[in-house]
Structure 1
Amino acid sequence: MEFGNKELLILGLMWMLGKCIAIGCKQGYDTEGRDCVDVDECEHALEQCGEHTNCFNTEGSFYCQCKSGFKNIRGAVNFTAINGQCQDENECTTGICGHGTNCENLIGGFKCTCLSGYNNVSNDPNSCTDINECKQAEINQEDICGEKGTCKNTNGSYWCKCQKGHTNYDNKTTPCSELSCDSFNVDSGPAQSLKGLANILSMMRNSCLALSNPSAAGEGKAQGEVLLEKFFTATETILSPGHLESSQHVTALLGTVEKSILLIAPQLKHNLTKMETTETDAEIAVKKGKTQPTGPIHLTNENAALDIDWETATGTGRYPGFALAALLSYKNLNIPVDESSEELKEYQRDGVDPSFQVFSKVVSVVVSNPSTEHLSRSVNITLRHLEDTEESHNVSYICAYWNERGAWATDGCYQEHSNASYTVCRCEHLSSFAVLMALYPMKHPFALILVGKIGLIISILCLVLSILTFKFCRSIQGTRTTIHLHLCICLFVADVVFLAGISQTKPVGGCRFVAALLHYFFLGVFLWMLLEGVQLYRMVVQVFNATIRPLYLFAAGYGVPLVIVIVSAISRPKQYGTDEYCWLSLKNGLIWSFYGPVCFIIILNVYFFIITVWKLAQKFTSLNPELSELRKIKAFTVTAIAQMCILGLMWVFGAFLFSDGTIVVAYIFTILNSLQGALVFVMHCLLSKQVRDEYAHFLSCICPSQKKRYSDLSSTNPSSSQSQGSRSGNHTGESQI
């Protein structure tokens, strides 16, 4: 069919008219052909309403409503995305769940569960009924309150009413435990004799009675932390002196501390409590509840550490509703060691009993386990030494505990690891512990001891002869003779004291006095050796026959050693005398109050010796030009040996006498030092022509028959005539060098 121009024009006008009619449709409608039809806005509900909504289409419009469990933030029930938004509604705030339930809010809903002590016995999930734990325990034949406790049911729980003399430490759902308040007996012997112990026992007894008397609710009771602080304050009156008079007092104190911690710890609020005073340092771990705790425990303080587990701390018996583990260290508790104790006899070596000393702080370990005599698993206790020590085979570290008999014992405690700073002890029972240090005396070979004693006896005899010679031999009187006399006196006294008292370590005061005497007189020997070096220097270098005033000699020879000993004794009196010898301790540097001056004197004397030999060589050359080279060497050698012996270079080996040194060096020092008196006698008496003449004259007076023989011998000796002429002519008062 063909349309003309007229028809096409009519159709165009009609189409334009239809468009005009469609444009006139209301909001919410859309044209469909020539009609306006409703638009379904809910086809795009998320855009129109948002999340958690239901969309409802209406004629020409729509509206939104929140789903169940949600509500409009603006409160309107019907809304659109422009004027509303849905959020979760917390139904639990309306009390929708019943009594004995726990309401848990969910996204768009909620959940009701029964609280502990309630259960659901009906079809209503929102309703819970109280459980009668007392009745259930009776049916199941369970003793949830203990023999001396009465179960009382409450809404959602129960509580145990304890009879007098029992308590559950305010943890009402735990069994009642018996309280032994009579154990805090104020009338016992130790409580009366040990000052301050009665106050502690009285305080703990009152606290115990307050806990064990249900009718005294709140009366006399104190918070655990307050009671613990009062307890440690009271113990300071006992511990502050630092020393208990007897082992009975020690046992009483340690036992009281253990019982007191067992009473106080369950009353503490926190799971871990630390408290430190001037005398004690404590750390206490506590677990409370119906369920027995498990897992490791590590308690530590400055002086010790404890590694145990809750199973061991609680024990295998009936769980009382609480568990505790405590580590307590005493800062100034000094407990002596009874070295005659049978428990320590096993530490003998080759029949030699060691000396013992407590070498750590005393620590106590307290647990709630009522049977600590035989633990199911051993515990580790790390104890720090009082001071670091050098490793030595003469020292042994022993893990010990304080037993019921009032002595240190070692059974059931073993050394797991030890070094210079600490010892780890593995123990199968619990008590109060410490590290004992066993000191074994150094054993020198019998031959070395015999050589030393024989040499000292010979030295003492020779020193007596030397002293008599220097005192009464008129021909050699002078400054050098005075020096030799007092050098021999100091060496004589030192050798006698050394021989008689070096090993007498008991009593301690006497041993310290012996050590001080040896310190003083050996220093005196060196000071007189130094004065001899000075005199030799003055004679040979400055003025050949120079003298030193006796006052200066005595001030230096006796005054300087006295000052050194007094200063050393005041600064470190306990370092005089050791457990093996009555000599200066090698610890803390006191030994340098001896070796320091000795080294200084030896260096000075070596200097004087070198200058003296050099000047002597010049004088020998100038006075005796014809002296052969061999005689020069011989003279220098003799002079060198004499100087070496007199100036004491052999004392360099002295450092090896009181330590584990090379045995060869110990023999060298022992022989040379013990024969020093003999060397002095030989060098200054027998090798002196003037002294030999005096001896000859003395013997001729004693034995007249030999007088002519000695006279003839002296007359045939050219040097004797020369010496006689020297004495009669120009006597200088000094022996020949």
Structure 2
Amino acid sequence: MDELNSTILGNEVLAIEIGAPITNLTDKISIDFRNMQYKGIPSCHSWNGDGKRPNWTQDGCLTIQNGDDITCECSHLTFFAILLVPLNESISSSDLNNLTTITRVGCGVSMFFLSIVLFMHFLFRKANASVSTMILIHLVSALFLLNFTFLINDVVASLGSPVGCKMMAALMHYFMLATFTWFAAQAFHLCVLLYARGPVGSRRYLLKVSIVSWVQPSAIVILMLILGKYGERAISASDSGDHVAFCWITDNNWHYIVNIGYYVLVFIFTFTIFIIILSYLFCLKRTAKQGDDAKTSTDKKSITVVLGLCCTMGITWGFAFFAYGPLRIPSYYIFTILNSFQGFFLFIYYHYNSDPRKVTKAQETPSSHSTLQTTMYNNENPYGNLTWQNPAGQTGA
């Protein structure tokens, strides 16, 4: 097997040679495989025999499928084999290049804006930060580290160090699970605020949430490190020899259980809270009596709130569930664009929610009308009733 642990059809490698290099044949040779049972996308590859491990290439070979029969037409003589690319890891070369570019640019942009959020918070706003803002900062930190490890992942994979690749995969996996957990923590916090209708009174509330959100993912990662489930993987293009190597989970079953299963639980919880909050905000909006101009302004703020909630709760990651059948490629693009630029959306959300000027305004105008408008942005408790004093005026944002 090669360094990418490619699956070889039938575990067979065929050698065709006559003792001298033969290339650029006018009449190509045909190698037929009849009545083959396989899962994945087959492609004919050749190897010149150099190196300790095969360096398979598709150059000079054409793959022809006819039902269960596969024919390889090649213009040279050497070692041949059919490699199988898993169905969920094969896309066209153009889509692979486009998605890779979008992801790298998006992650770079996200890291830039996330770093601005962290800079603004620790330099200017940390002293007056509320519990809600601190939870948001933890989420921003986890997402920043996830983007960073993702950007350097392929660089580490290219070094060819198995130990380094395993550590890289474990780090990126940890920050991804931590990000998912902070999505759930954000939703839980908003649910508590909605229920309490005021500041959270539990002692060391933030410390408890932080310990659970940062420590719980580490247990999963340590277990998978012990079981040896990390290593080098590749996403291959179905119409060429292009592939993107990266350090990740090598066992698909564990990937589905640990990642997909974990996020399904997080998504069900966060999406339920998301619907409850939207319903509550809609009721507040219907209750408020405003003019046409104010209504237009509130509509714009409502859109901002919805986008902010989607980002802070990780709702946009749910597009991965549509990555099947004809919706697979479109969902890849939507998923990649939204999540690559998630840092920018969180920057906008943080800017509006932690602006001290909005806190001052909320303190000076405690009326129902002003409270409703301010709480559309305020990160402390946007869900209190219309007669209750805005908690931003008590704790700061």
Q: Does 1:607 align with 2:272?
A: yes
3-state SS of 1:396 partner: strand
Mapped contact 2:178–2:214 kept (Cα < 8 A): yes
In structure 2, how many angstroms separate the alpha carbons of the residues matched to 1:421 and 1:569? Answer: 39
* CA distance, structure 1, for counterparts of residue 156 and residue 324 of structure 2: 15
Cα distance in 1 for partners of 2:332, 2:98 equals 12
In 1, the alpha carbon distance for the partners of 2:325 and 2:344 equals: 26
Q: Distance in 1 between matches of 2:343 and 2:95?
A: 23
Q: Which amino acid aligns with 1:544?
A: G
CA distance in 2, matches of 1:733, 1:434: 69
Corresponding position of 1:542: 196
Choose from 83, 98, 106 the match for 1:455: 106
Could you tell me how far apart the structure 2 residues matched to 1:451 and 1:587 are? Answer: 26
**Equivalent position SS for 1:435:** strand
- What are the Cα deviations for residues 107-130 of structure 1, in whole angstroms up to 9, with x where unaligned? xxxxxxxxxxxxxxxxxxxxxxxx
Equivalent residue number for residue 27 of structure 1: none
Displacement of 1:679: 0.9
1:676 paired to 2:342 = yes
* Paired residues of 2:232 and 2:248 also in contact (CA < 8 A): yes
User: Shift in Å at residue 396 of structure 1?
Assistant: 1.8
2:44 alignment counterpart = 397
SS of the residue aligned with 1:577? strand
2:118 counterpart (467, 484, 488): 467
1:437 aligned to 60, 77, 83, which one?
83
User: Is 1:482 matched with 2:138?
Assistant: no
Q: What SS is found at the alignment partner of 2:394?
A: coil
Aligned to 1:596: 261
Structure exhibiting the larger radius of gyration computed from Cα positions: 1
CA distance in 2, matches of 1:601, 1:666: 20
**Given the superposition, is the C-alpha separation of residues 422 and 399 from structure 1 closer, same or farther in structure 2, using an over 3 Å criterion?**
farther
CA shift at 1:614, angstroms?
A: 3.3
CA contact (8 A) 1:470 1:476 kept: no
Q: Is the 8 A contact 1:578 1:585 kept in 2?
A: no
Cα distance in structure 2, aligned partners of 1:463 and 1:456 = 10
1:450/1:584 CA distance change after superposition, 3 Å? closer
Provide the C-alpha distance between the structure 1 equivalents of 2:63 and 2:273, rounded to a whole number of angstroms: 57
Q: Give, in whole Å, the separation in 2 of the partners of 1:421 and 1:516.
A: 39
* AA of the residue aligned to 2:217: P
1: CA distance, partners of 2:323 / 2:270: 23
Offset at residue 591 of structure 1 (A) = 2.7
Contact 1:361 1:434 in 2 (8 A): no
* Distance (Å, rounded) in 1 between the aligned partners of 2:279 and 2:30: 73
Cα distance in 2 for partners of 1:537, 1:435 equals 56
Q: Distance in 1 between matches of 2:325 and 2:245?
A: 11
After superposition, the CA RMSD in angstroms is 5.0
Q: Residue 342 of structure 1 aligns with which residue? A: none
SS of 2:44 mapped into structure 1: strand
CA contact (8 A) 1:519 1:565 kept: yes
Q: Relative CO higher for 1 or 2, CA cutoff 8 Å, sep ≥ 6?
A: 2
2:43 alignment partner, SS class = strand
Instruction: Write the deviation string for residues 585-617 of structure 1: whole angstroms up to 9, x where unpaired.
Output: 586323322122122212111111222333445
Q: Is the contact between residue 475 and residue 690 of structure 1 (CA under 8 Å) also seen in structure 2?
A: no
Partner SS for 2:187: helix
- The aligned residue for residue 647 of structure 1 is 313
Task: Give the distance between the partners of 2:212 and 2:103, measured in 1 at CA.
Answer: 30
> SS in structure 2 opposite 1:493?
helix
Indicate how the Cα distance of structure 1 residues 536 and 584 shifts in structure 2: closer, same or farther if over 3 A, else same. same
1: distance between equivalents of 2:97 and 2:13? 42
Counterpart in 2 of 1:532? 186
Once the two structures are superposed, residues 600-650 of structure 1 have per-residue CA deviations (whole angstroms, 9 ceiling, x without a partner) of 2121111112223334455667xx754569477555444322211221222
8 Å CA contact 1:398–1:438 kept in 2: the answer is no
Q: Could you report, residue by residue, the CA deviation over 1:380-429 in whole angstroms, capped at 9, with x for unpaired residues?
A: 896999x94312xxx523367979xx98999xx999977899967899xx
1:65-105: CA deviations, max 9, x gaps?
xxxxxxxxxxxxxxxxxxxxxxxxxxxxxxxxxxxxxxxxx
Task: Confirm or deny that 1:512 pairs with 2:166.
Answer: yes
Q: Please give the residue correspondences for 1:46-445 in structure 2 after superposition, counting only pairs within 5 Å.
A: 357=6, 359=8, 360-361=10-11, 388-391=38-41, 396-398=43-45, 435=81, 437=83, 442-444=93-95
Which letter maps to 1:481? T
CA contact (8 A) 1:389 1:421 kept: no
Aligned-pair distance for 1:527? 0.9
Q: In structure 2, how many angstroms separate the alpha carbons of the residues matched to 1:610 and 1:451? A: 30
**1:479/1:547 contact within 8 Å kept:** no
Encode CA deviations 1:138-190: one digit per residue, 9 max, x unaligned. Answer: xxxxxxxxxxxxxxxxxxxxxxxxxxxxxxxxxxxxxxxxxxxxxxxxxxxxx
1:733 alignment counterpart:
395
Please list the CA deviations of residues 235-270 of structure 1 after superposition, one character each: whole Å capped at 9, or x if unmatched. Answer: xxxxxxxxxxxxxxxxxxxxxxxxxxxxxxxxxxxx
Q: 1:687 to 1:425 in 2, by over 3 A?
A: closer
Report if the CA contact (8 A) 1:490-1:524 is conserved.
Answer: yes
Deviation at 1:363, TM superposition (A): 7.2
Q: Is the 8 A contact 1:357 1:437 kept in 2?
A: yes
Could you tell me the TM-score, scaled by structure 2's length? 0.64
Q: For residue 314 of structure 2, what is the amino acid of its counterpart?
A: G
Residue in 2 that maps onto 1:497: 149
State the distance in 2 between where 1:569 and 1:384 align: 39
CA gap of 1:397–1:380, structure 2 versus 1, over 3 A, is closer
**Any idea what the Cα deviations from partners look like across 1:255-313, whole Å, max 9, x if unmatched?**
xxxxxxxxxxxxxxxxxxxxxxxxxxxxxxxxxxxxxxxxxxxxxxxxxxxxxxxxxxx
What is the alpha-carbon distance in structure 2 between the residues aligned to residue 397 and residue 598 of structure 1?
A: 36
Amino acid at match of 1:601: V
The runs of 5 or more residues in structure 1 that have no matched partner are: 1-333, 338-354, 366-371, 694-713
Amino acid at match of 2:169: A
Task: Give the partner amino acid of 1:456.
Answer: C
More strand by share: 1
Percent identity between the two aligned chains:
19
In structure 2, the residue matched to 1:82 is none
Q: Which amino acid aligns with 1:533?
A: A
Q: Which amino acid aligns with 1:649?
A: I
Distance 2:56 2:171 in 1: 38
Compute the displacement of 1:533 (Å): 0.6
Partner of 1:397, secondary structure, is: strand
Confirm or deny that 1:685 pairs with 2:356.
no
Amino acid paired to 2:395: G
- TM-fit CA distance, 1:512: 3.4
Contact 1:383 1:434 in 2 (8 A): no
The structure-2 alpha-carbon separation of the partners of 1:382 and 1:390, relative to structure 1 and needing over 3 Å to count, comes to: closer
Shift of 1:573: 1.6
Quick one: distance in 2 between partners of 1:584 and 1:409?
A: 21
Of Structure 1 and Structure 2, which has the larger fraction of its residues in helix?
Answer: 2
Q: Is the 8 A contact 1:458 1:678 kept in 2?
A: yes
CA distance in 2, matches of 1:409, 1:470: 50
Distance of aligned partners of 1:419 and 1:562 in 2 relative to their CA distance in 1, 3 Å threshold: farther
Q: Confirm or deny: 8 A CA contact 1:396 1:438 kept in the other structure.
A: yes
| Residues 1:435 and 1:692: Cα distance change in structure 2 (over 3 Å) | same
